[in-house]
Amino acid sequence: MYREQFDRWPQCKDNYDALLKAERRTIVMGDLPVMVQCNPARARSTEAKVDAASIAERPCFLCAKNRPKEQLAGQAIPDFEILINPYPILPVHFTVVSKEHQRQDAMPLEMVNFVDMTPQAVAFFNGAKAGASAPDHLHFQAVLKEELPLLSAVERLHRYSDGTVKLSTELGDFPMSFLSVIIPLSFEGMLMLAELPKFGGLPDGPEANPRDFVNTLVWMDNGDPEGDDSPKMRALVIPRRRHRPDCYFAQGEDKLAVSPGALDMAGLIVTPRREDFDRITAGDIAEIYRQTGLSAAELPEWYEGYPDFIKYTGR
Ligand SMILES: [Zn+2]
C-alpha cells in the first residue's frame, strides 16, 4: 500500500522522506526515556483550530468526498477505511477512519481488529478534546509499536504475573499518569475490552464530556519471556484534564508549541518549531503532563469511577 501510495502521490512520499531527517533527542525522566522530535510538517496539526465554530466551517478532511483524489483507502475492517497519514509522526503512520461522518465519541473497538491483524502496530485513540484534529469524524491511528518508549517500559515493568491492571504509580517512576491493562484472550478479556470505550478523563468544566478527555492505546505484546509466553493484548488508558498546556498559549520566550495527543502522552513529544525542540527541558515536559493529564494522587480515585471494569478485573 505504501509503495502504491508513494507512486501515486509524490507529495506524500516527500513528507515521509522528510521525516527520516527529523531530529530527535532523548530526555530520561525516571523509568521512561522521553523522545523529543522536531517535526515542522506537523505544525498544521499542532496549530489546528479544534473549537466547534472552526470545525463547523471547514470541509471535513477525513470524509471520502473531501480527501485528495490521490489518497488510497484500504478496505480490511468493516465500516472503516485505512489511510496512509500524509503528515506522519513516525515512518509507518496510518489513520483509520469511519466510512460515516460521525463524532469522535468513544474509542472504536475496531482498534482491536487492527492490532489483531497487524501485531507490529499500536492503535491509538485521541478523544475529541484530547488531541484529535478531526473531533467531528470518528477515527483512530496506528504506528509501529517499537517506536513508542512507553510501551516497552510498560511491557518490562508490568509482568503477566502482576495481574491484569496496574496504575502507573504502582509500576515505576513515570512523568505521566496512566492505567496499564493486560487483556487475556478469553471471555473475561472480551468483557474487559468492551468496557475500554467507557473510560474518560477529569475535565475542569462541569458541562464537559469526560470521554472527550482520554487517550487510549491498544497493542499485542510478544508474551512474557519469564513466564506465560502466550501473546496477550495490552491497553494503556491515559486520562486527561485538558488538551493544551499553558505554554502552548504563552507568547515570546515562554511559548512551547506542544499540543499533546496520544503519542506525546506516551513519551514522544512532537515540537514543530525548531526553537522549542532546542530548549524544551525535563521540567517543561513534566509541567505539560501535569497540566494536561492527572497527578499521581488523583489516579486511584479516578479509577474507582469505573466499577464495571473493576468487576471484570477483580481490582
Ligand atoms: Zn467527515
pLDDT of residue 228: 67
Nearest alpha-carbon partner for 158 in 45, 26, 31: 31
Residue with cell 531527517: 21
Domain regions of the chain by residue span: 2-313
Cβ-contact 266, 307 below 8 angstroms: no
Q: Give the Å distance between the CA of 305 and the centre of ligand 1.
A: 32
Dig out the grid coordinates for 98 from the structure: 469511519
The Å distance, Cα 95 to ligand 1 centre, comes to: 13
Q: Cell numbers 496512509 label which residue?
A: 84
Distance 50 CA to ligand 1 centre (A): 14
Within 13 Å, how many C-alpha atoms sit on residue 12's CB side?
A: 21
- Would you state the pLDDT for residue 198? 97
User: What pLDDT score was predicted for residue 277?
Assistant: 97
CA distances from 17 to 89, 120, 240, 279 (A): 12, 21, 33, 25
Q: Using alpha carbons only, give the angle 189, 193, 194 rounded to the nearest 5 degrees.
A: 120
CA of 136 to the centre of ligand 1 (A): 7
CA of 40 to the centre of ligand 1 (A): 25
Domain range 2-313, its CATH number among 3.90.1690, 3.40.50, 3.30.70, 3.30.428: 3.30.428
Ligand 1 centroid to Cα of residue 62, in Å, is 5
Q: pLDDT 10s per residue in the chain (315 long)?
A: 999 999 999 999 999 999 988 999 999 999 999 999 998 887 777 777 878 788 888 899 999 999 999 999 999 999 999 999 999 999 999 999 999 999 999 999 999 999 999 999 999 999 999 999 899 999 999 999 999 999 999 999 999 889 899 999 999 999 999 999 999 888 889 999 999 999 999 998 888 999 999 999 999 987 666 666 677 899 999 999 999 999 999 999 999 999 999 999 999 999 999 999 999 999 999 999 999 999 999 999 999 999 999 998 877
pLDDT at 186: 87
pTM: 0.95
